[in-house]
Amino acid sequence: MSTVKLRYISSDLDRHGNRRWYVRKKGMRKIRLEGIPGSERFAECYHAALKGIRLAGSAPIKKESAKPGSFRWLVEEYYSAAAFMTMEESSRRVRKQILDKLCGTPWDSETIIGDLPFKKLKRRHVREIRDMKAADTPEAANSILKAVRQVLAFAVEDEHIEHSPAGDVDYIPSKSGGHHTWTVEEIQQYEQRHPVGTMARLALSLLAFLGPRRSDVIRLGEPMVRVKDDRRFIKFIPFKGRNKQDRIELELPILPELDAIIAATPRIRPKDGKAVSLTYLQTEFGLAFSAAGFGNKMRDWCDQAGLPHCSAHGLRKAGATIAAENGASTHDLMAIFGWKTLKEAARYTERVRKHLLAAKNMHKLVPEQKESKSVPPFSGTSRTVRKTAKKT
């Protein structure tokens, strides 16, 4: 920690371990200072704070161009690369937030990470960057590592460096199993609270019987339905990965149970004369949901059913589990849920396989009982006991 010998200065650490500086003058509100101690910006904010003026907002920080060869410079180059530009818009936004914040994080008392020369980064440096978040959550630390890996992989591809020091740094094992997987009892509890005919029940049925992501279920509607041999199928391209060359197209049969619930759910017509949405799921105003809006609404429906730990994505996991328990293979799950690799589907089939094997072979833990009296039931019987029994 650097020593700052200025009047009215105090500091603390945020939950990420970053140090924050303040001016606390009697009779005035506490004002947070921007910049690194010793920098021009820090001095400017300090003198303004002595007068009770907070410069943030009224005098925003002037963004300076990154120094060539710095990690910040490499990050800005990465932002214009195809590896970044071809990502989904939401993924780009999250990745940029992580990297921008990382570049502004102090490395020591005088340097921020964005000023580090990326060509001199070693494996231990990347590990230290990862571990800055490890005390918070492993997931947050791994998100930073993933972002740094992508930036340094771009540096290799663009021939700035020959080898990425991040490729040899492992992710931190996470104890989190992700979203809670619904049980059959929890599904029944939700159904008791939300009967057939409600939008809440239709949402559950679409998620459970088709297994779509949240970004897909809000787009499903009658225009996507195709009829083959008197059977109804719904055909769509998953929103995630829709812009990639190897994108997939799903064509899933609408089960009779789901078809009956769709037919029993009344359509909501907008009161202001707008056209009725073509999607199955509608807001209370008769419009289509946004992904975030549906997530919030599903949260309300689960809370009303007394299931605060359940979510929309947990139903997708429940569907995969039930299908695996009913004998679906790894490739079957890939076809249903749109997974491109065996790894994701194998999570469910392997888990069920181990469960069935354990149930089938648990009886083997019991010592084998034989009718021959010459063989004792347990090998631990002492010779003395056997001799006494023989004499008797």
pLDDT digits (tens, 9 = 90+) for 81-109: 888 888 877 788 899 999 999 998 888 87
Distances (CA, A) of 39 to 35, 124, 274, 334, 350: 6, 28, 56, 55, 56
Domains of the chain (ranges plus CATH)?
1-62 (no CATH), 71-157 (1.10.150), 184-354 (1.10.443.10)
The DSSP result for 4-41, as a single string, is: ---TTEEEEE-TTS-EEEEE--TTS--EEEPS-TTSHH
Query: For 23-60, what is each residue's pLDDT tens digit?
Result: 887 767 778 888 788 788 888 888 888 877 777 543 34
* Angle formed by the axes of helices 89-103 and 138-157, nearest 10°: 90
Residue whose C-alpha is closest to residue 238's, from 255, 263, 225, 220: 220
Q: Express each pLDDT in 217-252 by its tens digit.
A: 999 999 999 998 888 999 888 887 777 767 788 888
**pLDDT digit string (tens) for 148-205?**
999 999 999 999 999 999 988 888 877 655 678 888 899 899 999 999 999 999 999 9
b/e map of 249-279 (b: 16 or more CB within 10 Å)? ebebebeeebbebbeebeeeeeeeeeeebeb
Q: What is the pTM of this model?
A: 0.58
Whether residue 66 is predicted with pLDDT greater than 60 in this model: the reply is yes
Query: Is a pLDDT exceeding 70 seen at residue 318?
Result: yes
- H or E segment at 234? strand 231-236
Calpha distance 308→204 (Å, rounded): 15
Contact 19/127 with Cβ under 8 angstroms? no
d(CA 121, CA 163): 11
pLDDT at 379: 47
